[in-house]
Structure 1
Amino acid sequence: MNTRPAKHTFLLLPLIALLSACSPTTRINSGFTETETVVIIHGLARSGSAMRYLTRNIADAGFQTCVIDYASLRRPMAEVVNDVSDQIDQCVVNGSRVHFVGHSLGGLLTRSYLADPDNAALRKRLGQVVMIGTPNHGSAVVDHYENNWWMKSLGDTTLSLGTHDDAFPNTLPPVDYHHGVIAGTRGWFLSNKVLGESNDGLVAVSSTRTTTMNDFVEVDVGHSLMRWNKEVAGQTVHFLKHGLFQH
């Protein structure tokens, strides 16, 4: 059997790094009182510390913040959902109004939590929800590479983010609460080839959209760097305060 690397395997290295890079696992919780709390959820293969720039901007705007920290690589999605749900429960015990900000997979985990009937009471004090680069209809990049050894090595949660009908994003019910979507548009040559449309390097702009979104904005930034981007942070804070983006 030929075990030599594929001819263009080296072209995939930036994508592998983007999917598998992981900061040290550190839970961040700035504390919260009976006021407006923003639950902040990072994406795949990251940790709570990856959201520190966004967290600082949100806190500086006067919100209390509670940052979720969870592991996602080589774990089943059900385990990730349970882990995140338990942490959110702790974040929302207090706080008269609760908002959510999720980057990438974090947006899907927000949707999953709010769709759980056990959390129906929270909906009465739910504020704004911001999804940043969230693959609401899955990522065709996952579909394209799902049979490659390196993609399989990332685990079930990663593989569940494709566009198939039974993929995690497509098993969630439609969003029926006030929310805004931020999409990145700075793709790269390989993602442009695979996705064939405007994208952020991993997620097509069309996949970030929901049919019920209350506002939408595009930012010229790649998927991973969205959480460090000044415009993304500013638009997130604006939506949290006003329920719409700044156009």
Structure 2
Amino acid sequence: MNWRIIIILTLLSLAGCSRPNTEEPVEVGGTQQQHIIVVHGLARSAWSMKTMASIFKEQHYQVCVVDYPTIRQTLQHTLDSSANELTRCINDWYPDYPEEEQQGKIHFVGHSLGGLVIRDYLDKHTDFVDSELMGRVVLLGTPNHGSDVADFFSGSWLISLVGGTAESLTTDDASFPNSLPEPNYAFGVIAGTRTYPALSGMFEATNDGLVSVSSAQLQGMTDFIEVNVKHDRLRRDPHVAGLILNYFRTGTFTPDRFSEQKTQ
């Protein structure tokens, strides 16, 4: 296959067809004291997580979907902007945190880069992690050890056009994903196993088209599951959303596995 076609397909995979970051953050209300903060990935916007947010809303969770810039941005600007949004979500629910009495839990789910954004935020906000508000975290197709696709384009003019945030996602030991400390809170990992044919040659192992299963896995995860879903589809697949809710409720992705753990 012509390499120009592969490059075009890769950029389409990254940028997709979601609306630009000018969209307003998606927020939906619920009736219970259970909250979920949803964080989108690279080259996406809050709008791209609308399907998942709607499913959570139907289950009576209060949901806040953050919006932050990722394209043609430095990594620091991306992290600063996303941190402001994450704090906004928390303060909207608990404006007097940490002084006020805390009720319920705040859970987090991050698709792709969004998982790294959550990890970075929680690493810098240990007071929140240690509070009664801290819930569980799901890393969804997150390149916890970097992406082979970022490696493929590393150093090229093409990835430099996308910006410093994209350039930081390689598998190099000094990359952003590999510089993050291991989480000290309950988290689970979902990895896709259905690749994009045009990009399969960039990987040597099972992957979702942009992130390998081995990269998604992370030491300390309390549960892990593979799904036959492509990277982009992970964020809007109803079955995946159900797995996430199971994890928030029980600490495991599937009810049967939770029952087995309790009987052991």
Q: TM-score, normalised by structure 1?
A: 0.92
2:138–2:244 CA contact under 8 A, matched in 1: yes
- Which of the residues 213, 216, 233 maps onto 2:221? 213
Matches within 5 A, 1:11-26: 11-21=6-16, 22-25=18-21, 26=23
User: Alignment partner of 1:153: what SS?
Assistant: helix
Residue identity opposite 2:236 in structure 1: W
Inter-partner Cα distance in structure 1 for 2:220 and 2:137: 12
Inter-partner Cα distance in structure 2 for 1:42 and 1:175: 19
Q: Quote the residue 1:200 is aligned against.
A: 208
The Cα of 1:188 is off from its aligned counterpart by 2.6
Matches within 5 A, 1:60-209: 60-93=58-91, 94=94, 96=103, 97-116=105-124, 118-124=125-131, 125-209=133-217
Cα deviations across residues 36-83 of structure 1 (Å, max 9, x unaligned)?
211100000000010011101111112100110111000011111111
Residue identity opposite 1:24 in structure 2: P
The gaps in structure 1 that reach 5 residues or longer are 1-5
Inter-partner Cα distance in structure 1 for 2:122 and 2:248: 17
1:186–1:221 CA contact under 8 A, matched in 2: yes
Residue identity opposite 1:245 in structure 2: F
Residue identity opposite 1:172 in structure 2: L
Which one is further off, 186-195 or 124-133? 186-195
Residue identity opposite 1:66 in structure 2: C
2:68–2:78 CA contact under 8 A, matched in 1: yes
Instruction: Point out 4+ residue stretches in structure 1 off by more than 3 angstroms.
Output: 31-34
CA RMSD of aligned residues (A): 1.8
Is 1:36 the equivalent of 2:34? yes
Inter-partner Cα distance in structure 1 for 2:78 and 2:183: 20
The gaps in structure 2 that reach 5 residues or longer are 95-101, 258-264
Inter-partner Cα distance in structure 2 for 1:162 and 1:123: 31
Inter-partner Cα distance in structure 2 for 1:88 and 1:244: 24
Inter-partner Cα distance in structure 1 for 2:156 and 2:79: 25
Inter-partner Cα distance in structure 1 for 2:135 and 2:169: 27
The Cα of 1:240 is off from its aligned counterpart by 1.2
Q: Quote the residue 2:4 is aligned against.
A: 9
Is 1:241 the equivalent of 2:246? no
Is 1:229 the equivalent of 2:224? no
2:32–2:60 CA contact under 8 A, matched in 1: no
Q: Aligned in 2, Cα 1:7/1:60: closer, same or farther, shift over 3 Å?
A: closer
Corresponding pairs, count = 241
2:6–2:199 CA contact under 8 A, matched in 1: no
Residue identity opposite 2:111 in structure 1: H
Q: TM-score, normalised by structure 2?
A: 0.86
User: Alignment partner of 2:211: what SS?
Assistant: coil
Residue identity opposite 2:87 in structure 1: D
Residue identity opposite 2:79 in structure 1: V
